[in-house]
Structure 1
Amino acid sequence: MKTIGMKFKLFISLIIFVLPFLNLFGQTPTFEKCDCPFDISKIKAESIWCGKLKVPENREVVGGRMLEIMFSVIEPENPKPNPIVLMPGGPGVPPVANRVLPIVHSIMPSDHTFIVFDPRGTGLSDPEMCKEQRTARAIISSMDLSLEEERLMYKGAMLACRSSLKLDGIDINQYNSVTIAQDVHDLMNVLGYDKWNIFGGSYGVPHARMAMRLYPEEINSVVISNGADLNMMDFLKYDRRAMHNALQDVANRCKQNKDCNARFPNIEQAFYDTYNWLKEEPLTIEVSQDEFEFPNFTFNSHEFVTFIYHQLFYENEIIHLPAVLHAFANRDLGFIKKLIEYEYGSPST
């Protein structure tokens, strides 16, 4: 009996010793190369390649769901040792196949490898989440709602999304700044980097801060820009001063440019005139059935503000802003229709 008792104790001791390591079994992060989902000729670099990082959805569950995280590595000739990792904003903006990736890359130091990734649950990374939300956004935006009505509609759409994710067995508690920072840490490890730099803008700043807290010994430097307030309730209220300043800056630059000022005079006044017009008389436009699941789009004043807000985000869209405001001020319906279809239509537009 003593022998059996000793064997049982030895077995229990072995289990206690091995148990912490079982969590790693079958869940060690790995990656495999894949075709890049964008035109690499648009980015100036010595080498560009893409891959998919495989990580557990929940690092505390043995044998659970595994996710593939899409990433891209953009390498210059003779890069310095520590890469720059982009912490994407949004939340939920996927940069890998984003049309602004060449612009973002162009402002990075040219002597460092630049690494971008689509955070889990966004873009080309697993899992695909609530793809119907783009259609919901277009429908809600087209309905000529007040800000409060629109907020309630979006809340309903988000709750429906949340329910569908739970029905699909997705653990929504595993999609946050902590797990995103852990994914970046795993990506750097499998790529062989001991030290790395971070660039984070907008909602990428909370991700950057979390990585700094979790892996301070690995991070060489951090640059953050236009950080998002984690407690913000309404991005228009949060960013109204920044938007006003940015709009004034664009207007002043246009005024100082002879050609721009001649073609598009007083664009700041054009913004306020258009706002007042759409506040009194929202514009309803018949839209292409190839791009929308509904025939008409009603564009009101606060949807106009949201649209211009988005235009102010990126340099390649800011340069067109004087023409956009001029078209609205002159009620160029054909041009406005194209803008709406581009902004709210199907992803293929």
Structure 2
Amino acid sequence: MRIQGMNIMPQANIMHTASDKERQTQLALWLLLPLAAMLFSLAGHAETDTAPTNDTCYVDGLPDRLRCGFVTVPENYAHPEGRQLNIHYAVLPAIKPSFTKEALLAIAGGPGQSAIENAPTFDRMLSKVRQQRDILLIDQRGTGQSNLLQCEGEGFEGALSLNEDDLDIASETQKCLDGLDADVSQYGSEIALKDFEAVRAHLGYDKLHVYGISYGTRMAQLYMRHYPQVLATVTLDGVVPMQQSVLHIGDAIDRAIGLLLDDCSSNALCHGQFADLEQDLQQVNTRLAQAPVSSQVRDPLTNEPLTLVMTRAKFMGALRMAMYTPNIRALLPHAIHQAAQDNFQAIMGLYALTIDSTGIAAGMHSSVVCGEDWQRFSQVERQQAEQNYFTREMVDAFDLSCPIWNVPAVDAEFSAPITSNIPTLVLSGQLDPATPPSWGEMAMAQLSNAKHFIAPYATHGVAYQSCGNDLIAQLVSNNSLDGLSDDCLSKDVRRNFYLNANTVEALPAAKQALSSTSHTEAQGVNHD
């Protein structure tokens, strides 16, 4: 990532420069996305050309020729003669195919992200598994090429100048629903699981190893519940336990903010530069809670002048999403400090990074959350939510949108913990702002053959930020947790904090000698 003055510009290998069409987003839903896993979207998007039969295709960012195609399934399995959907898949073929009847199914997050669009990241993260086994990617119904349920709204410039308090969420939700060609009640997780099984059977795999990230861990756990006979191993990375509504994410966000403040306070250089960071954050929050602040800023992608209406929702939304990845998290002390001095350019740059990069199909996202999470949020939980800004805002928004979406609630059994003896690796990031380690512990409640590893320096998506490639490959190769150790996760891979718009904190002399790159760039460097 390069820093030019106060404009934050992503490198092409971190995130693409969005076109006007790609910048369109439904702002109300973006601000309130419960999980919105950032791991894959920040690594780059991909364009695919998938044929309507078993064929080959290429994905942007990968030189390999993939196997691709789709299976046709009923939109409503209770009415198999009715409307049909094409569920698209892509297979990253094994380098040396030794297990032709096995594959690793990698499930994307969101809910609402396309697995196929994120093929380059899955390929990098699962490269050792791919040496002998195929990597299977399926665009879950409502995402990617599988009848995408996307809602268009304000473009980027319009989003910057919008005061969210003036947004009519009910009207925007109705507009989104009216524009979708789908029975939105048929896009929940358990229905999508039947599609996954149809793809597996079509491709002739007898066994699957499953990797799920964020919301993808819910799909993986449902696979363990409904089709245990076809699973060899499971990896849950950033776990959403079945017992937990994702609307509890507000507590995880507050925890992650506290850890950020503690990290800066315990770091001599960060604390020296931003001695009153917690006070700065409270000052900005208090001010924006009273009224938005309007200012002239520069578009971080084009440098064109823009009018920014900085609201508390934008500020807190940018803060929250920046904590998903370590290199962007490192910018936050500087951005918060600048905001306390009425300079919102840095926060706006973070907002620009995240608003374009979630890759969430908002319609599919609503079908899942309204059916599986909102309706099980109890009155007691609602009362507790009043004490948490993020949860309160999410609940209030879904209270307006979910009755319009009008999808049925899942059965009570949906929320029961998963009981299984399938070898299962559970990965949690200590700094995760979405799925904290306590959620991993909750998921372990009735897993009799599982290990929970906590990566002390990871945020959301442990496997991408650590030695996860090795751990998953060992699990898949052995079909067992025996000998699996978390020692490699202890490697100190923390990012240095930015002390201003252009530089990060200095490295200790011993580590400087080992580094051959300039530390005035926002590259991955080790922390003391």
TM-score bucket of the superposed structures, by smaller chain: 0.5 to 0.7
Is 1:120 matched with 2:135?
no
2:73 counterpart (44, 56, 66) = 56
CA offsets, 1:10-51, max 9 Å, x none? xxxxxxxxxxxxxxxxxxx95332220x3237xxxxx67363
Task: Please tell me whether the aligned partners of residues 336 and 347 of structure 2 are also in contact (alpha carbons under 8 angstroms).
Answer: no
Q: Within the alignment, does 1:220 sit opposite 2:237 as a pair?
A: no
CA 1:251 to 1:64, structure 2 compared with 1: closer, same or farther past 3 Å? same
Match of 2:375 in 1: none
310, 333, 339: which one aligns with 1:299: 310
Confirm or deny: 8 A CA contact 1:32 1:53 kept in the other structure: no
Structure of larger gyration radius: 1
Measured in 2, the distance between the counterparts of 1:265 and 1:193 equals 57
Structure 2 CA distance, aligned partners of 1:108 and 1:266?
42
Q: State the alpha-carbon separation in 2 of the partners of residues 117 and 177 from structure 1.
A: 13
Deviations 1:196-246 (A, max 9, x none): 1223343323322332233121012233333167884x84xx222211221
Output the amino acid matched with 1:35: Y
Inter-CA distance 162–105: structure 2 relative to 1 (3 Å threshold): same
C-alpha root-mean-square deviation of aligned residues, in Å?
Answer: 4.0
1:247 to 244, 257, 279: 257
State the secondary structure of the residue aligned to 2:282. helix
Percent of residue pairs identical: 20
> Does 1:39 pair with 2:39?
no
C-alpha separation in 1, matches of 2:254 and 2:178:
38
Counterpart of 1:120 in structure 2: which amino acid?
A: R
Q: Is the 8 A contact 1:49 1:72 kept in 2?
A: yes
Judge conservation of contact 1:181–1:208 (CA < 8 Å) in 2: no
Aligned residue-pair number = 298
Asked if residue 310 in structure 1 is aligned to residue 344 in structure 2, the reply is no
Change (3 A) 1:286 1:34: farther
* 1:190 matches 2:168: no
Aligned in 2, Cα 1:188/1:269: closer, same or farther, shift over 3 Å? Answer: farther
Write out per-residue CA displacement over residues 149-184 of structure 1, whole angstroms, 9 at most, x where no aligned residue. Answer: 75xx3333222222232xx4x233332212321222
CA distance in 1, matches of 2:357, 2:249: 27
- Counterpart Cα distance in 2 of 1:40 and 1:265: 45
Q: Which residue of 1 aligns with 2:128?
A: 110
> What CA distance in whole angstroms lies between the structure 2 residues aligned with 1:193 and 1:218?
9
Structure 1 residues 63 and 143: alpha-carbon distance in aligned structure 2, compared to 1, 3 A threshold: closer
Give the Cα–Cα distance (whole angstroms) in 2 for the partners of residues 182 and 202 of structure 1. Answer: 20
| Structure 2 unpaired stretches of 5+ | 1-51, 360-528
SS in 2 for 1:217: helix
| Alignment partner, residue 117 of structure 2 | 97
Higher relative contact order (CA 8 A, sep 6+): 2
Give 2:147's aligned amino acid. P
Residue in structure 2 matching 1:87, options 107, 122, 131: 107
Q: Secondary structure at 2:289's aligned position in 1?
A: helix
Match of 2:387 in 1: none
Measured in 2, the distance between the counterparts of 1:160 and 1:179 equals: 25
Provide the residue aligned with 1:163 in structure 2. 178
Aligned 8 A contact 1:140 1:154 in 2:
no
Aligned CA distance change for structure 1 residues 325 and 109 (closer, same or farther; 3 Å): farther
Q: Per the alignment, do residues 244 and 131 of structure 1 end up closer, same or farther by CA in structure 2, a change over 3 Å counting?
A: closer
- 1:260-271 equivalences in 2 (<5 Å): 260-271=270-281
The CA distance in 1 between the partners of 2:99 and 2:240, in whole Å, is 27
Task: Report the TM-score when normalising by structure 1.
Answer: 0.68
Any idea what SS the aligned residue of 1:53 has?
strand
Q: 1:229-266 CA distances to partner (integer Å, 9 max, x unpaired)?
A: 7884x84xx22221122122233333444554455445
Distance 1:330 1:229, change over 3 A: farther
The question of whether the paired residues in 2 share the 8 Å contact of 1:202 and 1:228 is answered with: no
Contact 1:85 1:114 in 2 (8 A): yes
Corresponding position: 1:278 with 2:297: no
Query: 2:209 is matched by which residue type in structure 1?
Result: N
With over 3 angstroms needed to count, the CA separation of the structure-2 counterparts of 1:203 and 1:193, relative to structure 1, is: same
Q: Unpaired runs of 5+ in structure 1?
A: 1-28, 42-46
Q: Which residue of 2 aligns with 1:24?
A: none
1:54: Cα distance to partner?
3.0
Q: Is the 8 Å Cα contact of residues 109 and 212 (structure 2) preserved in structure 1?
A: yes
Greater helix share, structure number: 1
